[in-house]
Chains A and B, each alone.
Chain A
Amino acid sequence: MKRFIGFIKKEFYHIFRDKRSLFILFGMPIAQILLFGFAITNEINNVDIAILDHSKDATTKEIIAKIAASEYFSIKQIIEKESDIESIFKKGKVKAVLNFEKDFSKNLIKENKASIQIITDATDPNTANTISNFVNAILQKYQKQLNKKITIVYQIIPESRMIYNTELKSVYMFVPGVMTIILMLVSAMMTSISITREKELGTMEILLVSPLKPIQVIIGKVFPYIFLSIINAIVIVLLSIFIFKMPVQGSLFLLGLESVLFIISALALGILISTVSETQQTAMMISLMGLMLPVILLSGFIFPISSMPFPLQVISNIIPAKWFIIIIKAIMLKGVGLQFVWKETLILLGMTVFFIALSVKKYKIRLE
């Protein structure tokens, strides 16, 4: 036991004396969360629009007032004629123009229908799409209000409602993904680098020619990173709660346990990588290409798995990160308990056991 503690002490010296690894350990999580939270977002906020109102009656004024009151849009300009539309877009002053037809109110009452044209600047298609969806939403809400006064029999009103992330905040979607990436990075890459560093330095030779058991070396190597990864997970959750006001619906305890499980599977992968690489550089490349890319691309973090081609969907099943993301999304956003994620947890557990067994088996007690 004393040997083991001595070993762990040494590992902590390494970590705290290497500025670069310290930065990766603690700078990265914070930077990534902030980056994803603030910069990469699907939301719109105070988008500048222009209004072209040919009617100028009570109904259009009411609609315009509703739009202006929403936090999504701000009315930058009122224009008077069709020909202004093009020039205002060219100047880049607004992202959208709402064009109310003539006699809007009258048409609505007389013919039961009136039309608005939503013209958006599709050079940024995502934003354009989002803007027209938001305008539609406001209009529908308004329509419902109107319809309340009249009773129409047998009217089917389709209603789509977002649940679990009712505010459509994209940061809620990113937090589980970023957490997965960071835990993977810290655990797998840092362990594989720290083991291969010993090989490169030649100290592995001395450790092998010592009474330390291979299992002691492995656990000694991964222990500090379990500890640091847990700290990281806590930092990420705290950041999302306090900066992005993201509610964690489910049990924090369960979230913690699942995270530890995922961390251990990543550490086992890290050891596995170190058994096949001789230099720190190879270890880093394998970790980045072999682990990070699949985690980013195939785990469902950015691209929905259901819209992938079938072979990729199959491959995504062998990526531990996929299961972990499903689990933590369920816990954080839906607030469910273990009874709803036990299947995923079991899969992750199986993978972890497999990786550990494989890495212990592959760990060499000699040089060849």
Chain B
Amino acid sequence: MSISVSNISKSYKNVTALQDISFEVKKGELFGLIGPDGAGKTTLFRILTTLLFADKGSAIVANYDVVKDYKSIRNSVGYMPGKFSLYQDLTIEENLNFFATIFGTTIEENYDLIKDIYIQIAPFKDRKAGKLSGGMKQKLALCCALIHKPEVLFLDEPTTGVDPVSRKEFWDMLKRLQKKDITILVSTPYMDEAELCDRIALIQDGKILEIDTPESIVKHYPKPIYNVSANNMYQLINSLNAYEFNHSVYPFGEFVHYTDSRTDFNPEDLKAYLKTKKLSNIAIEITKATIEDTFMELAK
């Protein structure tokens, strides 16, 4: 096991940030911590990177205890905090050199590890980090976190505030790193990124809702789920919310995801009902549940 967390709890003054969290991450696994802001993701990352003490519970990272062996952990993990945390007044190259030196290594020594990423920003290596675009900053931050060839990589919301193209590229990079046997723990508030991980933990209000592979999590969704659409979205939502048999009603892009509380649900009944509400162009189709549906169902 690369990371093993058992029964971790943590509270600040009057807020419970984490409540009895336990999970394990295997070596070389890409593990996602999926949850909204304030779910406790950053607190958990800080405990695992030895920056905070947990109130209760214990955790092992790269075979070291996060409290007793904090010095060894600091030598063997890479950490990319949520906020862009590099020196804005230093150039790309100076930042990278700095982090290489403080970890007692050089860019050349581990160049093969960062090569794929670094060549994308290398043309700008004399530009100050503060002047880079969001995507480039993120790549630089990843290079800096990787420069000492860590065993475990902690990425706290690396894709927040980054455009879709850079996000895509970032996840591609993570996949390639994984092949080099680096364990990656990544957190994100974006449900659509969940399916890119090997396994995920859904987390909300300091509690883990479920841990599994993205495919199994979706399969566990308890009810058939329907895409409903009509000519007026607002009225459609109101009508569905007023429908006595509804189990859940969530707008989902151009559709509404609807589940029914009955086991013998017939879409035609619903269609008839919606017609009485003066809606037209009604379409009801069965669809597949997404991670987001599961999350909402569990968090309900």
Chain A positions near chain B (C-beta within 8 angstroms): 2-3, 5-7, 9-10, 13-14, 17-18, 201-203, 205-212, 365-368
What separation, in Å, do the CA atoms of A216 and B45 have in the docked complex? Answer: 25
Interface residue stretch chosen among B69-77, B256-264, B281-289: B69-77
In the complex, the answer to whether B86 meets A205 with C-beta atoms within 8 Å is no
Among A7, A203, A212, A367, the residue within 8 A (CB) of B85 is A203
Within residues 11 to 69 of chain B, which ones have a CB less than 8 A from any CB in chain A? 46, 49-53
Among B90, B97, B102, the residue within 8 A (CB) of A210 is B102
Task: Give 19 A-B pairs besides A210-B103, A211-B104, A368-B53 with Cβ atoms closer than 8 angstroms.
Answer: A3-B103, A3-B104, A6-B97, A13-B90, A13-B94, A14-B89, A202-B81, A202-B82, A205-B46, A206-B81, A206-B144, A206-B145, A208-B50, A208-B51, A209-B49, A210-B102, A212-B102, A365-B70, A367-B52
In the complex, the answer to whether B74 meets A209 with C-beta atoms within 8 Å is yes
In the complex, the answer to whether A205 meets B85 with C-beta atoms within 8 Å is yes
What separation, in Å, do the CA atoms of A206 and B103 have in the docked complex? Answer: 11
Among B71, B83, B94, the residue within 8 A (CB) of A202 is B83
What separation, in Å, do the CA atoms of A13 and B101 have in the docked complex? Answer: 15
What separation, in Å, do the CA atoms of A366 and B74 have in the docked complex? Answer: 12
What separation, in Å, do the CA atoms of A366 and B54 have in the docked complex? Answer: 12
Does any Cβ of A come within 8 Å of B255's Cβ? no
- Taking the nearest CB of chain B, how far is it from the CB of A24, in angstroms? 16
Chain A contacts of B88 at CB under 8 A? 201
- Contact flag A208-B74 (CB < 8 Å), given A366-B50, A366-B53: yes
- Taking the nearest CB of chain A, how far is it from the CB of B93, in angstroms? 11
What separation, in Å, do the CA atoms of A5 and B86 have in the docked complex? Answer: 19
Chain B contacts of A205 at CB under 8 A? 46, 49, 51, 79, 81, 85
In the complex, the answer to whether B87 meets A10 with C-beta atoms within 8 Å is yes
What separation, in Å, do the CA atoms of A6 and B52 have in the docked complex? Answer: 27
Chain B contacts of A202 at CB under 8 A? 81-85
- Chain B, Cβ-Cβ closest to A202: B85
Chain A contacts of B103 at CB under 8 A? 3, 210-211
Chain B contacts of A209 at CB under 8 A? 49-51, 74, 77, 79
Among A10, A18, A208, the residue within 8 A (CB) of B98 is A10
In the complex, the answer to whether B51 meets A211 with C-beta atoms within 8 Å is no
In the complex, the answer to whether A367 meets B101 with C-beta atoms within 8 Å is no
Chain A contacts of B145 at CB under 8 A? 206
In the complex, the answer to whether A2 meets B87 with C-beta atoms within 8 Å is no
- Chain A, Cβ-Cβ closest to B73: A209
Give the A-B contact count at a CB cut-off of 8 A: 83
- Chain B, Cβ-Cβ closest to A207: B102
What separation, in Å, do the CA atoms of A325 and B286 have in the docked complex? Answer: 84
In the complex, the answer to whether A6 meets B101 with C-beta atoms within 8 Å is yes
Chain B contacts of A17 at CB under 8 A? 89
- Contact flag A6-B98 (CB < 8 Å), given A202-B84, A203-B86, A211-B104: yes
Q: Would you list the 7 A-B pairs with minimal beta carbon distance, nearest first?
A: A6-B101, A202-B85, A202-B83, A17-B89, A209-B79, A367-B51, A209-B49
Chain B contacts of A18 at CB under 8 A? 89
In the complex, the answer to whether A203 meets B51 with C-beta atoms within 8 Å is no
Chain A contacts of B144 at CB under 8 A? 206
- 24 examples of A-B residue contacts, CB within 8 angstroms: A7-B102, A9-B98, A10-B94, A13-B90, A13-B94, A14-B90, A201-B83, A201-B85, A202-B83, A206-B85, A206-B99, A207-B102, A208-B50, A208-B51, A209-B49, A209-B50, A209-B51, A209-B79, A211-B75, A211-B104, A365-B70, A366-B51, A367-B52, A368-B52
In the complex, the answer to whether A14 meets B87 with C-beta atoms within 8 Å is yes
Chain B contacts of A207 at CB under 8 A? 102
- Chain A, Cβ-Cβ closest to B95: A10
CB-CB contacts of B203-219 with A at 8 A, as 1s and 0s?
00000000000000000
- Taking the nearest CB of chain A, how far is it from the CB of B282, in angstroms? 50
- Taking the nearest CB of chain B, how far is it from the CB of A214, in angstroms? 11
Chain A contacts of B104 at CB under 8 A? 2-3, 211
Chain A contacts of B81 at CB under 8 A? 202, 205-206
- Chain A, Cβ-Cβ closest to B71: A211
Among A7, A18, A202, A203, chain B packs the most CB atoms within 10 A around the CB of: A203
Within residues 218 to 259 of chain B, which ones have a CB less than 8 A from any CB in chain A? none
In the complex, the answer to whether B53 meets A211 with C-beta atoms within 8 Å is no
CB-CB contacts of B117-151 with A at 8 A, as 1s and 0s?
00000000000000000000000000011000000
What separation, in Å, do the CA atoms of A2 and B90 have in the docked complex? Answer: 19
- Taking the nearest CB of chain B, how far is it from the CB of A60, in angstroms? 71
What separation, in Å, do the CA atoms of A173 and B278 have in the docked complex? Answer: 92
What separation, in Å, do the CA atoms of A228 and B55 have in the docked complex? Answer: 44
Chain B contacts of A365 at CB under 8 A? 70
- Taking the nearest CB of chain B, how far is it from the CB of A18, in angstroms? 7
- Taking the nearest CB of chain B, how far is it from the CB of A279, in angstroms? 14
What separation, in Å, do the CA atoms of A362 and B255 have in the docked complex? Answer: 56
Chain A contacts of B97 at CB under 8 A? 6
- Contact flag A367-B89 (CB < 8 Å), given A10-B98, A13-B94: no
What separation, in Å, do the CA atoms of A125 and B144 have in the docked complex? Answer: 65
